[in-house]
């Protein structure tokens, strides 16, 4: 589903964020991406979101070579990748409903279909009653769940999350991760960048470790296979 082959990324300043990274994430897998700050996690996710382009190497997502995607085609690619951010990136001047509906409006989904899909997505994250609330009226954990609802509403085959629990306390973090597990169990390929080792250990999924731009010992932890779809 996500395949990196010898991918390197060197920024203009000469800083090499990724060096010859290769890995393969199968369809329906849930993988944690870990590593200390500056290890290249963010860069890797940016390459997947086509925010950045690799300096060398090849990335294939859902059978599509990202190198062959021109600027004008990026929007259509991004619609098939759900993204979740540490800072949620919600629009604070609009109610939850509008935030969650945004990907559907962007994709030109028929308007009469939008309300029920928004309801379903909010139900999934346990915020069915918060449609009319403004993001500022919600707790951080709830805001993150709104972000997740927005990421999954267009039913993307892939979900990538950048430190989704970075601002949450352990209990909330675990809840959010459980949510990712559930999404994974319905067939979505999930890649979560996180440095919360305790949490990752509790969830027992495959871990991809980065250190100084290189993959170190891609390992299967605990009973990772048990829950694989």
Partner 1 sequence: MPAARDDGARGARLSRQTLGQRFAAYRLHHRQMLAAGFERLRRYPLATLMTVMVIGIALALPAGTLVLVSNAKSVSGTWQGAARISLFLKQNLSDSAVQQLADSVRAHAGVASVKVITASQSLAEFRQHSGFGDTLSLLGSNPLPAVLVIRPTNDYTTPVAAQQLGHELGVLPQVAEVRMDIQWLRRLQAMLDILHRAVLIIALLLALAVVLIVGNTIRLEIENRRTEIEVSKLMGATDAFIRRPFLYHGAWYGLAGGVMAWILVLIALLLMAGPVAHLASLYGSRFSLSGLGFEGSLVLLVSGIALGWLGSWVAVARHLRAIEPT
- Give the number of residues in contact with partner 1, rule: CB under 8 A: 38
User: Restricting to residues 60-119, which ones interact with partner 1 according to CB under 8 A?
Assistant: 62-63, 72, 74-80, 83, 89-91, 102-103, 105-111, 113
Annotate 107-126 with b (16+ C-beta within 10 A) or e (fewer).
Answer: eeeeeeebeebbeebbebbe
Which residues inside 151-170 make contact with partner 1, applying CB under 8 A?
A: 154-157
Q: Report the alpha-carbon distance of residue 204 to residue 222 in Å, rounded.
A: 5
Nearer to partner 1, 80 or 214 (CB): 80
Other CB atoms within a 10 A radius of the CB of residue 105 amount to 11
What is the DSSP-derived secondary structure letter of residue 80?
Answer: T
Measured between alpha carbons, how far is 140 from 208 in angstroms, rounded to an integer? 27
Angstrom distance (rounded) from CA 19 to CA 212: 8
Query: Minimum Å distance from CB 116 to partner 1?
Result: 14
Task: Please tell me whether residue 28 binds partner 1 under the rule CB under 8 A.
Answer: yes
150 binds partner 1 (CB under 8 A): yes
53 binds partner 1 (CB under 8 A): no
Interface contacts to partner 1, rule CB under 8 A: 1, 26-28, 46, 49, 51, 62-63, 72, 74-80, 83, 89-91, 102-103, 105-111, 113, 150, 154-157, 187, 189
């Amino acid at each position: 589903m996500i395949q990196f082959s010898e991918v390197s990324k060197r920024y203009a300043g000469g800083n090499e964020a990724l060096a010859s990274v290769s890995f393969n994430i199968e369809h329906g897998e849930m993988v944690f991406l870990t590593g200390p700050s500056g290890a290249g996690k963010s860069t890797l996710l940016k390459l997947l979101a086509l925010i950045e382009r690799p300096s060398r190497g090849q990335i294939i997502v859902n059978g599509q070579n990202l190198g062959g995607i021109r600027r004008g085609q990026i929007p259509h690619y991004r619609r098939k990748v759900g993204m979740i951010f540490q800072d949620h990136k919600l629009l604070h001047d609009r109610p939850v409903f509008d935030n969650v509906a945004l990907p559907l409006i962007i994709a030109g989904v028929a308007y009469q279909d939008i309300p029920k899909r928004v309801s379903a997505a909010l139900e999934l994250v346990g915020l069915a009653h918060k449609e009319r609330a403004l993001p500022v009226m919600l707790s951080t954990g709830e805001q993150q769940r709104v972000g997740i609802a927005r990421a999954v509403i267009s039913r993307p085959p892939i979900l990538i999350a950048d430190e989704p629990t970075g601002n949450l306390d352990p209990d909330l973090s675990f809840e959010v991760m459980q949510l990712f597990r559930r999404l994974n169990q319905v067939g979505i390929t999930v890649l979560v960048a996180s440095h919360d080792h305790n949490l990752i250990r509790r969830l027992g999924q495959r871990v991809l470790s980065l250190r100084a731009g290189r993959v170190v010992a891609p390992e299967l932890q605990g009973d990772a296979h048990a829950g694989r779809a």
